[in-house]
A and B are shown apart, each in its own frame.
Chain A
Amino acid sequence: MKNNKKVILKVLALSKNFGSVVALNNVNFEIYEDEIVGLVGDNGAGKSTLIKILSGNFPPDKGEVYFEGEKVNFKSPVESRLLGIETVYQDLSLCENLDPVSNLFVGREVYKKFLFFKILQKKEMERKTLEVLSKIDIHIPSVKEKVEYLSGGQRQAVSLSRFVAWGRRLVFLDEPTAALGVRETSKALDLIKRIRKEREVSIIFISHNLPQVFEIADRIIVLRHGEVVGIREKRFTNPDEIVSLITGAIHIKSIGQQ
């Protein structure tokens, strides 16, 4: 099935050290158009580091990244975002002192120029925020309420709203369901599936929760100690095998094995 799909992201021999700590070592993989990939691994396996490099938060020490066939070298998250790569970070990256509208539009405020003032178009931004939040289907009291007064799930919804609004080509979701209750989690997973169906977007989904990964991912990439120890298609694997890969019980470095 994957042979007739275009590669959207290609990672070649990516390495990153923090001092003497090896965070990533010779990481190789490809992401295809319109697929959901689960990125799993134990704490400290390098998942977040990998995402931060790919979204331009910091550069790799070695290795190359190709996005839609072009070699890219992001110097900041802004550059990746311009190409349609959106990241929802684990720590939510919200401004708690501001409302969901401001949070959705951080750095992308809609404005009209008047003399040398950039006047915010609040109505338009509110309308878009309501539209996006209604898709997410998690209720919040008001789009003008400060995020600090929202519950964990509501905050997560605000965070996810960025992906719904701006994720065009490739989205990294770093533990997007961590703060959610059972019902909200299933809503969020439905949302991710729905968005993928609506537009041709590839999603890399980081999670500790294997049942969730098995529910939505097409393929699973397993990281261990900064190395890719397995890439599996969901159809040909099972949670037991993935757990063994995560913990190191199976030790085969056969990258790309089916």
Chain B
Amino acid sequence: MELLKVQKANKIVRLVLNNIVWIILIFSVAGFSSTIKGYLSLGNYINIVYHSVFIGMLAIAESYCLISGNIDLSVESMAAFGAIASAWLCGASPFASGLKVNPFVGLLLVMSVGGAVGFINAFFILKMRIQPFLVTLSTFIVMRGLAVLLTGGKGISQITDSFQFVSMVKFLRMPLMVYIMFIFYIFFHFILEKTQFGKHVFIIGGNVNVAYNFGINVHERLFVVFVFSGVISAITGWLMTARASGATPAMASGFLFEVLAAVVIGGVSMIGGVGSLIGVFAGVLLLSSIRSALNILAISPFITEVIRGSLVLMAVVLDSVKRMFR
């Protein structure tokens, strides 16, 4: 009976540790708001959320991959390719294709490319049995290369009005894009926590032998995870173009590490099988709110990187602390 008591006490500690990102987020925002002039305003808060949209979307894709025990390094350059390809398809400037495709047709086209890239990732990982890290590192490089190749390295600075419109719409002072991110989080959280597919993702990430032994179609599930990842990345790229009213092949550079940082801070384990999108969302917001604080304070951007790196380290330490409370 002693054992049960200890286990119950540890449960409370773990409950706190599992939700610690939210606690840190609340304390950070409260701290910044009370000490930094200009931080405490609805406009700034909306800004923080608005600036977390792209990292936030890619973090969903990455969370699924990590929870399933895999990793997808190609999200960043897939987003870049999605951005430049939608600008190329729908844009109006000299380096665009001149096709002036309807932006929603353009979205469908880049989504199919994203799906195809996810499929190729999954194919090499599952059928050729190559490490996910190596496969997606290759597609990471290839997609960035294709992004440069598409326009000969040139940017596209003009898109059609109907495309730009996507970034202009606001409801209740919040840009449409923020709602799009919310919908993605709600939808993918629902899939992960409430459906059989989501449960299988956790099982595969936790112990793939159990998954095989008990008849879960591991390959099918992982193909879906990687295709999801590619498609979400492509959609993110399309949104980036809409917001910037154009695209360059260098877009989204460095996003990968920010995404991984947000996801790990949000409590997703790199080993697989552990994590929730609720935590990830807090991780994304935390990074964004810190970025905003540093911007307002006009602190050297180099220190930003140091702070961000330390946060990731803290998250990893936290992960091992959680393990101690068995």
Q: Are A93 and B210 in contact (CB under 8 A)?
A: yes
Q: Total A-B pairs in contact (CB under 8 Å)?
A: 83
**A106–B196 touching, CB < 8 Å:** no
Q: State whether the Cβ of B206 lies closer than 8 Å to any Cβ in chain A.
A: yes
Nearest CB of chain A from residue B111's CB, rounded to whole Å: 18
Question: A57 with B213: in contact, given A97-B273, A141-B4, A149-B10 (CB under 8 Å)?
Answer: yes
Cβ B195 vs Cβ A95 within 8 A:
no
With A118-B195, A118-B196, A141-B7 in contact, is A93–B203 under 8 Å at CB?
A: no
Q: How far is the CA of A93 from the CA of B213 in the complex (A)?
A: 9
Kindly report which residue of chain A lies nearest to residue B207, judged by CB atoms: A95
Contact check, A81 vs B215: say whether CB atoms are below 8 A apart. yes
Q: A95-B202, A97-B274 are in contact. Are A76 and B215 (CB under 8 A)?
A: yes
Residue of B nearest to A141 (CB): B7
A78 contacts B by Cβ under 8 Å: yes
Q: Give the nearest-CB partner of A142 in chain B.
A: B11
Residue of B nearest to A110 (CB): B196
A-side interface residues, number (CB < 8 Å): 30
Q: A78, A97, A145: which contacts B7 (Cβ < 8 A)? A: A145
Does B115 sit within 8 A of A, measured CB to CB?
A: no
Q: Are B207 and A94 in contact, CB atoms less than 8 angstroms apart?
A: yes
Residues of B within 8 A of A151 (CB): 3
Q: Does B141 reach chain A (CB closer than 8 Å)? A: no
Nearest-CB distance from B321 to chain A (Å)?
14
Q: Are B199 and A94 in contact (CB under 8 A)?
A: no
- Chain A's closest residue to B14 (CB) is A149
Q: Which of A76, A95, A102, A145 has the most CB of B within 10 A?
A: A95
Query: What is the minimal beta-carbon distance from A229 to any residue of chain B, in angstroms?
Result: 30
Closest CB of chain B to A258's CB: distance in Å?
37
Question: At the interface, yes or no: B194 with Cβ under 8 Å from chain A?
Answer: yes
CB-based contact B213/A109 at 8 Å: no
B114 sits at the interface (CB 8 A):
no
- Using an 8 Å CB-CB cutoff, how does the interface string of A103-130 with B read, 1 for contact, 0 for none? 0001111010000011110000000000
Contact B199 A120 (CB under 8 A): yes
Contacts of A149 in B (CB 8 A): 7, 10-11, 14, 325-326
Q: Which of B184-217 contact A (CB under 8 A)?
A: 191, 194-197, 199, 202-203, 205-207, 209-216
Report the bound CA distance from A169 to B215 in whole Å. Answer: 19
Instruction: Report B14-44 CB contacts with A as 1/0, cut-off 8 Å.
Output: 1000000000000000000000000000000
Per the bound structure, the CA–CA distance linking A103 and B202 in Å amounts to 11
- CB-based contact B209/A111 at 8 Å: no
**A241 is an interface residue with CB less than 8 A from chain B:** no
CA distance A171 to B194 in the complex (A): 31
B8 adjacent to chain A (CB < 8 Å) = yes
Q: How far is the CA of A149 from the CA of B199 in the complex (A)?
A: 19
B273: A residues at CB distance < 8 A: 95, 97-98
The reply to whether the CB of A61 lies closer than 8 angstroms to some CB of chain B is no
A93 CB, nearest partner CB in chain B, Å: 5
Interface residues of A, Cβ cutoff 8 Å to B: 57, 76-78, 81, 89, 93-98, 102, 106-109, 111, 117-120, 139, 141-142, 145, 148-151
Pairs A–B under 8 Å by Cβ, sample size 27: A76-B212, A77-B213, A77-B215, A78-B214, A81-B214, A93-B209, A93-B210, A94-B210, A95-B207, A95-B210, A96-B206, A97-B207, A97-B272, A98-B202, A102-B199, A106-B211, A107-B215, A109-B199, A111-B195, A117-B191, A117-B195, A118-B196, A118-B197, A120-B195, A142-B11, A149-B7, A149-B10
Known: A97-B207, A107-B215, A120-B195. 14 other contacts (CB 8 A): A76-B215, A78-B215, A93-B210, A95-B206, A97-B272, A98-B206, A106-B214, A107-B214, A117-B195, A118-B197, A119-B194, A119-B195, A119-B196, A149-B7
